Structure 1
Amino acid sequence: MPTGDRVCFWWTTLANRMGPIVTNHLLPVTPVTPADLTGCRRRSILLRAATAGRVTPELSLAARADRQAHRQRAALRRTAVTSALPTTARRGDRVTFSRTDIVDDGTAEEQTLEALAAGVRVITGARLADDALACDIDLLVRLDDGAGISTSTAYMPVTVTAHTTARRTKGPVAEKNSVRVVDVAALGLSTPVVAPLKHRSSAVDSQKVAIAHVLLDRLGLASGDVGFIGGGAGGTTGVGGYARCVVITADRVLDGLERALEAPVPAHPVRVRECADCEFHNHCRCELVDSGDLSLMLPGDRGRQWRELGVHTLPDLAALADRPAELTTLPGVNREDPALAAAWMAGVEFLRRPLRRWITGPDLWCGHAFRMPGHLGDGELPMAGEIGDAVEIDVDMEAHPSRGTFLWGTFDGSEYRPFTDFSRDGDEGEHVARYWTWLMARRRAAHDSYRVFRTYCYSQQGENHWMRSYATRFGGREYAPGIIMPTLSEVNAFLNSPEWVDVFALVKTALAANGSLGLKSVARLAGFTFSQEDVDGRAAVDLFEIAVGDVDGDADSDDGARAEASSRARRTLERYNADDCYAPAAVRRWLRLGAPGVPPLEY
């Protein structure tokens, strides 16, 4: 089925489903946008129903602030890219450079068409639309060498995103999966060149450039390529990003667009990840709770296997917990789900898996083989002698999305020690090198005294990412005598060793949950109380900006007040980080005691 027909089919299906809640005050056909094809499809219906006044959206003040902040960050990203774009041709360039910045005054679509008709080389803030599809696209970049408009005129749609757009590959890449790059400062002037990268993209970014490509193709102006400009250290540009554009063939995103257009619009709501921040959350949840829908516990596609077996509600699923023999005959399902469904209906969030499945794991006991104690008093740890002779250090890291890490905290069981960078311009990784030097010194001392050494964190992806990032950028650099950034091979050797342990992995083995297994949730089960209850990762970023003076607050406040605000923000960040070092130690001890206080999961 051609893409245009798929769009009409999809939207006709959606319109038919809108009957109960949407009046005929809406236009007969509303173009499909990238937002309609990602995340919750039910929300597309409700947004149009809200326009007709049939549904009232509910959004908290905090959620409104978050959305506004998200829009502002997106605007800052676009501004950063726009300011880096060329403004004139360079000496030796064979093209005549021109650029049009579309002003969103209600005529963006018409302005875009005029710029395309004039053959402008770079168009920013473009909008493309027809009766079936519509798309706002950050950039349209001309790739051919011509001037004016001709049959060879070809444009590439480019989106600016906060997501990582590519990662370096470890081996050869097939030609069909190849990635090309071009500097943002050379867009419209230089030809993208092949780079040893693997493309990564979110669904919304892919749908945006795919729809823009289809619309350009209908105008006869598509180049066959699409582009992504991403930021962050995980991309192609290092910390800060937005300096290079990743280019791939449009065919690689068109398949995803066709699949999205073919997906049916749900007749009833299903809980998905986006529900937590949706203005229609309560509207849908009432219907879900009334029916006891399976997605209340198994959101999205997680309940697909049960639905295929005819189990659509939590009461039906919970009933299977009393018939364990039947579970062994059901293919492709999680046998724990019925017990978790019964727990969900009883308001129980966590269940403890049978001890035999996890208590003997060597990572929980510093690599020692588990030995069953003959007798234990209340609160007495098994294998206390072996554990007591080990050197155990808990680590937690704080990072700013565009600056990198600014705090690595450590806790050795008695003392919290932070390694910080609160300088305004950054220390180019010196605090990371100091953290690494201290940690490796403790490691050597443990080895020299024939003691076991273990370093722990909770959910290690962030720490792993940033250690590798800094080692890649600054590996081997000496900041002061004895303070040297490790190389990537040194970092990888440690991260892949048994001396680097993820407490989150231990928790996932021990507990089954209906909710989050994040540190804040699990540490409370272990009896740990956080001192900074109102601080989370996003608040930590805001506090860091205050700490380094990027946010001055009241413009009329004097230097002393700003300095006090900066100092207060630093102290709060260190207390917040210290809690995240203490808490994994508390969770680890609690697991070694057998996770007391959590109901057992039996099947």
Structure 2
Amino acid sequence: MTDTVLLDAGVVSRCRRRVHLEHDPAARDAPRQAPDPTGELRKADAVAHRREIADQLKAVFGDRWVEIPTDARGSEREAATRAAIESGRDFIWAAQLPRDLEGGRRGGIDLLVRTDGGYVPVLVVRHKVSDPGTGARTSPLTDLTTIGGTPDQTRKVRPQPRDQLRLAHTRRLLHAAGFADERTAFAGVIGLDGDVIVWHDLSAPTWPGGRTALAEYEARFADRLAVATAAATGGEPLAEPSRIVECRSCPWWPVCSEKLLATRDVSLVVRGEDAGFLRAADVPTVDALAALDPANNDVPPLVGMPLADAIGLARAWLADLTVVRRNESVHVPRADVEVDVDMESFGDAGAYLWGALLSGADIGIAPGYRAFVTWDPLPTDDEARSFAEFWQWFATVRNAAVARGLTFRAYCYNELAENRWLLASAKRFAGKPGIPTRREVLTFIESDEWFDLFGSVREHFLCSHGKGLKTIAPVAGFSWRDPEASGENSMRWYRAAVAMDGGAPDEVQRARLLEYNEDDVQATAVLRRWMSSPAVNEIPYVGDI
């Protein structure tokens, strides 16, 4: 029955239950949540990036270049692609490959490159595909036909498993149609920087367990095809709902959540592999998990957390408690002079805003919130100025505290983002006025003066609805002024603030972003003060529930 089900490359990276629902006739009219606005913006940015790369390549290759119209019907695009291939065109953009009815595959690819033996796929993506280092095989965009490239002494591959799986899918489509260059398993990716092609050898044993990308793809695709076929033909479902990270933005979450809540599924408090381990140990529900003895030796060790914490989360969920104390006493290190820091970035383009809240002892610098911002659309050299101003102010505060014999500490919530852009900014803008060295930044973030409050929350609390600042700070009594405040929405506000999509910059959205950032640092301050106060003991202790 595989001729009734044709799957694109995305299924191999998609939740199995989502694949089922997408092919289940009974789910056709089921309610779905609206598309994630941030996801929609990312898609639009990706389209614009691909167009930019296409125009760049078209200018280089001239009449050797052909584009398949993207606004035509699928069958027309397939026919145009086949005609371009059979006429031997060197570079085919936006190819829609012939459907593989026997294998159950369909799909397209950004670029096909002709060789003496057939065609090789190249993907264009709007994310980084390499990092500084060595070992990647690359070629310049002006040399697309050097398949496999040459060793690059300045780059190492950023694996990006989804890219490799998409390329493997395309290679199988090319093979089925008789258009693949069977002599090579290389396939290319042009990333965000758009300066080189990074080549992946899909037959190399670079995956866990020594598997190849092609083997991993074949196993995943066969599984998804079985799931989709069972759904489409009314067979026994091969995938049941289980909560994972992707559920937050999945259109089918209303369908899955209803079923998970009705069955009180264990994945509502323990996600991923751990939910599977617990079901296999005959612990399928939150109730069953809450009833366990933490010393139960019949349950295998969990990956994400100790079993005792999972049991505590289940008991908190049943009691409708967002937060319970994991430890009887809660401690957050404090200082005489304190600064709360929050950074706003726009994808991989840069960090446009550093917000800081100064509080504590008098050091001759006015307390309160400060924003160090650039409103030039990212990426921009003006980012160096705003970052340098932030760092110089920050260093002045610290030095003033030390000069008065006072202790100093700076706080953030989940340091991964801040640390990334502290180090990246020091590297990108090295040598510019006011920019610290990478060693200066590393010395600071590795010191006791830089404190990640997220780590403290993780240490002292069990959080049944997540550990995000927007979830935890309200428990401490803080609320954001903007009811739509979120990292996802801030991306949309930023686009308007800098007129990224044309028109005039939106001053209202600029003010909104500054208010949002100020509230984020205020939330961190309120949370740590609350955690340092007797009021935190009003939160139930897990051992008492």
Query: Could you tell me how far apart the structure 2 residues matched to 1:159 and 1:598 are?
Result: 51
Matched, 1:458 2:413: yes
Matched, 1:294 2:266: yes
Matches within 5 A, 1:566-581: 566-581=506-521
- Which sits farther off after the overlay, 505-514 or 125-134? 125-134
In the TM superposition, residue 202 of structure 1 has moved relative to its aligned partner by: 4.1
Matched with 1:181 is 138
Matched with 1:382 is none
Query: Could you tell me how far apart the structure 2 residues matched to 1:460 and 1:534 are?
Result: 23
Matched, 1:229 2:181: no
Matched, 1:342 2:315: yes
Matched with 2:231 is none
Query: Could you tell me how far apart the structure 2 residues matched to 1:122 and 1:422 are?
Result: 39
Matched with 2:83 is 114
Q: What SS does the corresponding residue of 2:7 show, helix, strand or coil?
A: coil
Work out whether residues 350 and 598 of structure 1, in 8 Å CA contact, stay in contact via their aligned partners in 2: yes
Are the structure 2 counterparts of residues 187 and 602 from structure 1 closer, same or farther at C-alpha, using a change threshold of 3 Å?
same
Are the structure 2 counterparts of residues 191 and 410 from structure 1 closer, same or farther at C-alpha, using a change threshold of 3 Å?
same
Match of 2:447 among 483, 493, 497: 497
Matches within 5 A, 1:486-565: 486-551=436-501
Match of 2:346 among 390, 395, 400: 400
Q: Kindly report structure 1 stretches of 4+ aligned residues shifted beyond 6 Å.
A: none
Q: What SS does the corresponding residue of 2:82 show, helix, strand or coil?
A: helix
Q: Tell me which amino acid in the other structure corresponds to 1:103.
A: P
Q: Tell me which amino acid in the other structure corresponds to 1:184.
A: L
Matched with 2:95 is 126
Q: Tell me which amino acid in the other structure corresponds to 1:540.
A: S
Match of 2:162 among 204, 207, 210: 204
Are the structure 2 counterparts of residues 284 and 534 from structure 1 closer, same or farther at C-alpha, using a change threshold of 3 Å?
closer
- Across the aligned residues of Structure 1 and Structure 2, the Cα RMSD in angstroms comes to 2.7
Q: What SS does the corresponding residue of 1:584 show, helix, strand or coil?
A: helix
Are the structure 2 counterparts of residues 31 and 63 from structure 1 closer, same or farther at C-alpha, using a change threshold of 3 Å?
closer
Query: Could you tell me how far apart the structure 2 residues matched to 1:54 and 1:575 are?
Result: 42
In the TM superposition, residue 190 of structure 1 has moved relative to its aligned partner by: 8.4
Matched with 2:538 is 597
In the TM superposition, residue 46 of structure 1 has moved relative to its aligned partner by: 1.8
Aligned length: 500
Q: Tell me which amino acid in the other structure corresponds to 2:20.
A: I
Q: What SS does the corresponding residue of 1:599 show, helix, strand or coil?
A: coil
Q: What SS does the corresponding residue of 2:343 show, helix, strand or coil?
A: strand
Work out whether residues 351 and 601 of structure 1, in 8 Å CA contact, stay in contact via their aligned partners in 2: yes
Query: Could you tell me how far apart the structure 1 residues matched to 2:309 and 2:148 are?
Result: 54
In the TM superposition, residue 191 of structure 1 has moved relative to its aligned partner by: 6.8
Query: Could you tell me how far apart the structure 1 residues matched to 2:519 and 2:383 are?
Result: 26
Matched, 1:468 2:423: yes
Matched with 1:431 is 386
Q: What SS does the corresponding residue of 2:478 show, helix, strand or coil?
A: coil
Matches within 5 A, 1:296-315: 296-315=268-287
Q: What SS does the corresponding residue of 1:602 show, helix, strand or coil?
A: helix
Query: Could you tell me how far apart the structure 2 residues matched to 1:490 and 1:67 are?
Result: 36
Q: Tell me which amino acid in the other structure corresponds to 2:469.
A: L
Match of 2:131 among 158, 161, 167: 167
Matched, 1:365 2:333: yes
Query: Could you tell me how far apart the structure 2 residues matched to 1:59 and 1:67 are?
Result: 16
Query: Could you tell me how far apart the structure 1 residues matched to 2:253 and 2:142 are?
Result: 43
Are the structure 2 counterparts of residues 447 and 552 from structure 1 closer, same or farther at C-alpha, using a change threshold of 3 Å?
same
Work out whether residues 525 and 597 of structure 1, in 8 Å CA contact, stay in contact via their aligned partners in 2: no
Are the structure 2 counterparts of residues 282 and 245 from structure 1 closer, same or farther at C-alpha, using a change threshold of 3 Å?
same
* TM-score normalised by length of structure 2: 0.84
Query: Could you tell me how far apart the structure 2 residues matched to 1:536 and 1:125 are?
Result: 35
In the TM superposition, residue 411 of structure 1 has moved relative to its aligned partner by: 0.7
In the TM superposition, residue 278 of structure 1 has moved relative to its aligned partner by: 3.0
Matched, 1:194 2:151: yes
Query: Could you tell me how far apart the structure 1 residues matched to 2:218 and 2:349 are?
Result: 38
In the TM superposition, residue 88 of structure 1 has moved relative to its aligned partner by: 4.1
Superposed CA deviations along residues 200-255 of structure 1, whole A, max 9, x for unmatched, are 34443222111112233442424311222222xxxxxxxxx233322121124223
Query: Could you tell me how far apart the structure 1 residues matched to 2:27 and 2:297 are?
Result: 47
Are the structure 2 counterparts of residues 124 and 551 from structure 1 closer, same or farther at C-alpha, using a change threshold of 3 Å?
closer
Matched with 1:158 is 122
Q: What SS does the corresponding residue of 2:542 show, helix, strand or coil?
A: coil
In the TM superposition, residue 395 of structure 1 has moved relative to its aligned partner by: 0.8
Q: Tell me which amino acid in the other structure corresponds to 1:111.
A: A
Match of 1:477 among 428, 432, 440: 432
Match of 1:38 among 1, 13, 18: 13
Query: Could you tell me how far apart the structure 1 residues matched to 2:276 and 2:222 are?
Result: 18
Superposed CA deviations along residues 274-326 of structure 1, whole A, max 9, x for unmatched, are 33333332333333223222222223323122123221122211211xx34x4
Work out whether residues 188 and 198 of structure 2, in 8 Å CA contact, stay in contact via their aligned partners in 1: yes
Are the structure 2 counterparts of residues 286 and 519 from structure 1 closer, same or farther at C-alpha, using a change threshold of 3 Å?
closer
Work out whether residues 318 and 338 of structure 1, in 8 Å CA contact, stay in contact via their aligned partners in 2: yes
Query: Could you tell me how far apart the structure 2 residues matched to 1:491 and 1:68 are?
Result: 35
Work out whether residues 327 and 461 of structure 2, in 8 Å CA contact, stay in contact via their aligned partners in 1: no
Are the structure 2 counterparts of residues 336 and 134 from structure 1 closer, same or farther at C-alpha, using a change threshold of 3 Å?
same
Matched, 1:249 2:201: yes
In the TM superposition, residue 340 of structure 1 has moved relative to its aligned partner by: 1.5
Work out whether residues 109 and 123 of structure 2, in 8 Å CA contact, stay in contact via their aligned partners in 1: yes
Superposed CA deviations along residues 134-177 of structure 1, whole A, max 9, x for unmatched, are 222111223x4xxxxxxx324332222233322223xxx6xxxx
Are the structure 2 counterparts of residues 328 and 459 from structure 1 closer, same or farther at C-alpha, using a change threshold of 3 Å?
same
Are the structure 2 counterparts of residues 71 and 399 from structure 1 closer, same or farther at C-alpha, using a change threshold of 3 Å?
closer
Are the structure 2 counterparts of residues 57 and 329 from structure 1 closer, same or farther at C-alpha, using a change threshold of 3 Å?
closer
In the TM superposition, residue 521 of structure 1 has moved relative to its aligned partner by: 1.2
Query: Could you tell me how far apart the structure 2 residues matched to 1:336 and 1:543 are?
Result: 38
Percent of residue pairs bearing the same amino acid type? 28
Are the structure 2 counterparts of residues 353 and 191 from structure 1 closer, same or farther at C-alpha, using a change threshold of 3 Å?
closer
- Which sits farther off after the overlay, 544-553 or 433-442? 544-553
Query: Could you tell me how far apart the structure 1 residues matched to 2:471 and 2:316 are?
Result: 17
Matched with 1:418 is 371
Superposed CA deviations along residues 459-509 of structure 1, whole A, max 9, x for unmatched, are 11111111222221211212xxxxx21222222222222222111111111
Query: Could you tell me how far apart the structure 2 residues matched to 1:53 and 1:315 are?
Result: 30
Q: Tell me which amino acid in the other structure corresponds to 2:482.
A: Q
Are the structure 2 counterparts of residues 277 and 331 from structure 1 closer, same or farther at C-alpha, using a change threshold of 3 Å?
closer
In the TM superposition, residue 552 of structure 1 has moved relative to its aligned partner by: 5.6
